[in-house]
Amino acid sequence: MLPMFRAFGLCVFIGVSHADWILQEAEVLPYSADRSSWLLHDKVPAEHPVEFTVALKVDEDRHAALEKAFWEVSDPKHPKYGQHLSLDGITQLLAVPDSRVGLVKDYFEQAGATTVVGPNKDVITVSMPAAAAEAALNTSLSFFKPEGSDRRIVRASTQYWLPEHVAREVVMVGELLQFPHLSTAPLLKPVQGSGNWPNSCDAPGCSGLVTPAVLAQRYKLPSRSDAVAKNSMAVAEFQGQYYKDSDLSSFGNSCQRDVKVDKTIGGDKPVPGVEAELDIEYIKAVAPEIHLTVVYDNQFSLLSWVHQITSLQDSPLIHSVSYGNDEKQQISAQYIFTCNTAFMKAGARGLSILFASGDQGVCGRQGCGTMKHAPFHPDFPGDSPYITTVGGTDFKGSDIGEETAWSASGGGFSNYFGIPEYQKAAVAAYKASPDANLPPQRLWNNTGRGYPDVAALGGTKTPYCVAVQGTFAGVAGTSAACPVVAGVFAKLNGLRLKARKPPMGFLNPFIYQNPSAFQDVTSGKNSATRKWGFTAVKGWDPATGFGTPDYEALAKASMSIVSDDQSIVV
């Protein structure tokens, strides 16, 4: 006999039994071709192996203790600034009961799974045949493909359920309802760029494009930096994106930079992808002296990736990510909560996470309608208050100099999160500025967290020169801006570690306390092709944040922080 399935506050009677099941992520709509860029391809064979991430409940008082520790160690004005927790320290702080871990673990193992409990005991990775997973989750699994691509992912084509006694110990199961956004970073044909500066790379195709030398001049980067023990950085790659050593060598040799990957976690076929090679080439263009890890996640899963990096004993200190979800309706409260918990775990350990703000302006990936202007669509995780978000700019003229907001740079105000304490004054000043020319209030949330926090070159006026698939071409997008800013902060970590100071960890309190360490951007609007957007003004704005890096000023500001305990624990 079939069990009675029960949603939160809503009963859906499927049959009769003594067993109660609870619908998970109840507000997330099941897959629909009408609102997805992914196409349902075929049913998953019964024996096909699947893997997913089960996030366990963390008791409220323990979650509050994690957030408290996160803010204390991240605020340069707090006595505990830089006193980061170890991996074991996070485990002890969360104190997830062994009984909870054992109950969920046993349930899936009895259903035919192999399980791996994460070091913090709040996540279990489950691997099992598809048919067993469908029975354990009371769902249906299918292959999905993007149109015109051979790539495929496994996701649930219906909602999923757990027995009541298991559901009350689980927040969510990842890799079921969340569909990733497919990168739209434009790979341009090799053409003459519009920049009026000498080509510092040997490749003729780099002429007029942004190169490492352009970034070094604009952002005042030092000509040489020493490698420092324990300093490290990483880029995250999803969506079938990988790199080829020959492309990295070609870029490095042409542009006089030491570009190599020191370590790869995960891995895939060595087929070059523009997103991956852009990330690698330009984070190393900024910080060639720093150990680089590529963290590859073939699950197309933000949850899986963040679990990877927070489970490492020696996780890289800086993480640059170009990632977003495809549809707003695929984001649940549980998904956001679980991601933010992981971001706090990272920050409490002294890790910095930077995300690109997106490349569709204020309307995001869903757009703002046609006949009537719909409300703006802020991006997640770009609007999370627990990470640093990087927007994009263009040069205002044809020379290396003043910048303007790139019209397609993502930015705005969150619909999920209130204004965090660290940015309240900056957001209030923006809204009070007579130059802001704010969009109609019906289009955006006046009480939400504002993003991005900072910016860097990323617009289409002068794209970045990238070596990919054996040639040089121009690539634009906030996916270019993010690794550049990440590389800058990795260099700042090097200065601090060399002086036996702790790494910077979560960056936003430092950023908002040091606005003069950035080169302000005071023109442009991120409206993309629409009438309304947010205008860049003096000070912080939701188009470019506080502006673009000034390494010399940032170095002074980062080294002037005084904390009570200078010990290094990562």
Express each pLDDT in 461-487 by its tens digit. Answer: 999 999 998 999 999 999 999 999 999
Q: Give the rounded percent of residues in the chain with a pLDDT score beyond 70.
A: 90
Tokens representing residue 319 in the block: 């993480």
Would the pLDDT of 354 be above 80?
Answer: yes
Domain membership of residue 66 (yes or no) is: no
The better pLDDT of the pair 3, 224 is held by 224
Separation CA 553–CA 299 (nearest Å): 40
Q: What is the mean pLDDT of residues 46-72?
A: 97
pLDDT digits (tens, 9 = 90+) for 338-347: 999 999 999 9
* Count of the separate structural domains present in the chain: 2
Residue 551 neighbours by CB under 8 Å, 6+ apart:
219, 220, 221, 222, 488, 491
Same-domain status, 234 and 141:
no
Same-domain status, 152 and 236:
no
Torsion of CA 156, 368, 425, 561, to 10 degrees: 50
Same-domain status, 151 and 229:
no
Give the residue among 251, 221, 202 at the shortest CA–CA distance from 475.
251
CATH of the domain at 322: 3.40.50.200
Question: CB-based burial of residue 88 (10 Å sphere; 0-12 exposed, 13-18 middle, 19+ buried)?
Answer: exposed
Would the pLDDT of 90 be above 90?
Answer: yes
DSSP H/E element including 509 = helix 508-513
Separation CA 310–CA 326 (nearest Å): 24
Tokens representing residue 191 in the block: 């053409």
The residues annotated as belonging to the active site are 275, 279, 479
DSSP state of 552: H
Annotated binding-site residue numbers for Ca(2+): 520-521, 539, 541
Same-domain status, 331 and 424:
yes
Annotated binding-site residue numbers: 520-521, 539, 541
Domain membership of residue 201 (yes or no) is: no
| pLDDT, position 191 | 54
Q: Give the rounded percent of residues in the chain with a pLDDT score beyond 90.
A: 75
Same-domain status, 496 and 357:
yes
pLDDT digits (tens, 9 = 90+) for 403-458: 999 999 999 999 999 999 999 999 999 999 999 999 999 999 999 999 999 999 99
- Residue 310 amino acid letter: T
Residue 154 and residue 85 in contact, taking contact as beta carbons nearer than 8 Å = no
| pLDDT, position 184 | 52
Same-domain status, 221 and 164:
no
Separation CA 115–CA 109 (nearest Å): 7
Same-domain status, 165 and 240:
no
Same-domain status, 342 and 475:
yes
Question: What's the pLDDT band for 150 if we cut at 50, 70, 90?
Answer: confident
Separation CA 413–CA 383 (nearest Å): 7
Domain membership of residue 4 (yes or no) is: no
Same-domain status, 273 and 221:
yes
| pLDDT, position 451 | 97
Same-domain status, 104 and 240:
no
| pLDDT, position 192 | 63
Q: Which domain holds residue 544?
A: 212-560
Tokens representing residue 108 in the block: 């899936």
Would the pLDDT of 12 be above 90?
Answer: no
- Residue 125, helix vs strand vs coil: strand
Same-domain status, 234 and 311:
yes
- Residue 243, helix vs strand vs coil: coil
Domain membership of residue 568 (yes or no) is: no
Q: What is the mean pLDDT of residues 11-25?
A: 53
Domain membership of residue 82 (yes or no) is: no
Give the residue among 160, 155, 159, 162 at the shortest CA–CA distance from 176.
155
| pLDDT, position 323 | 76
Residue 515 and residue 539 in contact, taking contact as beta carbons nearer than 8 Å = yes
Separation CA 544–CA 443 (nearest Å): 19
Residue 8 and residue 25 in contact, taking contact as beta carbons nearer than 8 Å = no
Separation CA 8–CA 21 (nearest Å): 10
Domain membership of residue 192 (yes or no) is: no
pLDDT digits (tens, 9 = 90+) for 237-275: 986 678 999 999 999 999 999 999 999 998 766 677 888
Residue 162 neighbours by CB under 8 Å, 6+ apart:
21, 22, 24, 137, 138, 170, 173
Would the pLDDT of 50 be above 80?
Answer: yes
Domain membership of residue 90 (yes or no) is: no
pLDDT digits (tens, 9 = 90+) for 113-148: 999 999 999 999 999 999 999 999 999 999 998 877
Range scoring the smallest mean pLDDT among 74-83, 263-272, 534-543:
263-272
Last residue of a domain, one of 149, 174, 199: 174
Q: What is the mean pLDDT of the chain?
A: 90
Last residue of a domain, one of 117, 149, 174: 174
Domain membership of residue 145 (yes or no) is: yes
Tokens representing residue 546 in the block: 């506080």
Same-domain status, 117 and 230:
no
Q: How far is CA 395 from CA 32, 195, 247, 315, in A?
A: 41, 9, 27, 35
